[in-house]
Amino acid sequence: MSEYTFKLPDLGEGTVESEIGEWFIKVGDQVSEEDVVGTMMTDKAAVELSSPVSGKVIQLAGEPGDIVAVGAGLVVFDVDEVDSSVAAEAAPTEAPPAEAPPGEVAAETKPVPAKRTRVMTSPAVRRMAKEAGIDLATIAGSGPGGRVTRKDFEQHVGAGHARDRAQAPSGLAAAAIARGHGPLLREIKIIGLRRIIAERMATATREIPHFTFVEEFDITELEALRKHLNENVTNQSERLTLLPFLGLALIRALKEFPQCNATYDKERNVLLQHGPVHLGIATQTPDGLKVPVVRHAESLSVEDLGHEIRRVSDAARNNSIKKNELSGSTITITSLGRLGGIVSTPVINMPEVGIIGVNRAVERPVVMNGQVAVRLMMNLSSSFDHRFVDGYDAAAMIQRIKEMLEHPATIFLP
């Protein structure tokens, strides 16, 4: 037996170790060269690894969640034992069976299995399909080159549920299915991006004394301006949201409060005040919360800022974002959109010292000049690192943002 050890390669950015995300193979499987064997998790993304050889899997380095050092053995293959079906695929034609001599029975010719093409999709969709027991090859992909997208998977699952309901049993079993009864307990191992998020959240809340400040804003005039600027925009995806206006107001305010556009270097015990504004955009993705970065946001117009926010957010969701676009932010905006509620307590994205949280915009009755009027109101719930940002300065910066958003023309004044 000739063994080949596939060692964990350097995944970049000075990575010295990586976490096993998931395996697409198991011991005993026959693997062809270039087949994807699994994913490894870095701090930024899930990286698919392809086999450099063909052979039989005889050993795996561990289970999902285990840590493997760069250069350590990841998969051990028996490269001498090649599955007969793989060898048969390489044959250009299948020779016809020879006639059996008198008195003998011709040996049965086994059909050559069709080569299975690996379905193109993201690690997140592959994991969901594995958990649901769904063969990705049965899903028609609408992405580039037939790639199966999350939407394709969800539509396939929805169609399957519809068929299940049509074939559901009657009586007590049907009633149980209708009530949605399932397993009473499910163990979920915390691995990959979810583990990293958990660790960072725990560290941030343990080490940073958060000062949270909530203020309400009258954005009636801002919303009127936003709608006016969108009137001639035919592409729905290019329409301006409130975020780029908030981003511009924040950038203007940071010039007056540079201590809020800062990061803390814990190892050197140094506070770094940044001139450029590298704006983090907290984005919910199928893999968990990511913070893609709009670099040099201070140099962008409202249209360009809106475009960049959409671009990095979409790239974070579909895993096409570059690694360097997931680090280096100096302050972060987080928004739950329509789920924004009235008040939230955003957790600071270390090593930053401030985060601006956007709550839901709703119409409320407001007293103006002694009269009750209906105005579009929105709260900002922001948190600051109280070690480096005094409560007075935090409140003063938010009030400065409030002034600009309630009189939106001032956002664009020199």
Active site residues: 386, 390
Question: Crossing angle for the helix pair 391-406 and 243-256, nearest 10 degrees?
Answer: 130
- DSSP secondary structure letter of residue 410: G
CB of 281 closer than 8 Å to CB of 309: yes
Total Cβ atoms within 10 A of residue 380: 24
Element (H, E) at 355: strand 354-368
CA-only gyration radius of the chain, Å: 28
CB of 294 closer than 8 Å to CB of 304: no
Cα 203 from Cα 361, distance rounded (Å):
31
- Identify the bridge partners of residue 369 per DSSP, sorted by sequence position: none
Contacts of residue 326, defined as CB under 8 A and 6 or more positions apart, other chains included, come to 44, 45, 290, 291, 292, 293, 316
Question: CA distances (Å), 189 to each of 22, 64, 278, 299, in order?
Answer: 11, 8, 34, 43
Question: Which tokens is 283 given?
Answer: 């984005």
HSE-up (13 A, CA, CB side) for residue 381: 17
Please give the backbone phi and psi of residue 102, each rounded to the nearest 5 degrees, phi first: -55, 135
- DSSP secondary structure letter of residue 340: -
Question: Which tokens is 275 given?
Answer: 């001139």
Cα 200 from Cα 188, distance rounded (Å):
19
Kindly write down the DSSP assignment for every residue of 308-339, as one continuous string. HHHHHHHHHHTT---GGGGS--SEEEEE-GGG
Cα 67 from Cα 9, distance rounded (Å):
14
Cα 254 from Cα 72, distance rounded (Å):
46
- Cis bond before residue 286 (omega within 30° of 0): no
